[in-house]
Amino acid sequence: MSWTPREREIGAVFALPGPDRYGYCVKKIADEEVVWSLGDHDGWILLSDSDGRELVPIWPHSSFAAACAAANWPGAEPRAIPLEKWRDRWLSGIENDRRAVAVFPNLAGEGPVVEASRLNADLDDELAQYE
């Protein structure tokens, strides 16, 4: 579908509360059928929660991921994951590894944290609207 957010939209969406960014992210991922995360020469970037659990950060577009990389992870670059691969392999791997998903972290690195199964169910609900 090839959507690219404008600079004004990027700033406005980053300013939204976490739950609103979560809903925006799920909708855009369903629309575009791609998930964006960050990687560097060592692999994928992971965050951690206050208990030390590893979190996989995701965004709905490379522009959001790149802004967070510039603010928090110099040298990291946005990497695309096709939605089908994300759902078929990544979510089960995240769950098996006892990780969770940081959905749409803001420039401070803060965002809603959800279990992989919850994100998958929310994607199911959103994708059902397209059928």
Sign for the CA dihedral angle at 119, 92, 85, 107 comes to positive
Q: What is the pLDDT of residue 83?
A: 98
The SS3 of residue 26 is helix
Per the listing, tokens 């994708």 go with: 127
All structural domains of the chain, each given as residue ranges with its CATH number in brackets, are 17-128 (3.40.1350.90)
What pLDDT, in 10s, does the model give residues 10-52? 999 999 999 999 999 999 999 999 999 999 999 999 999 999 9
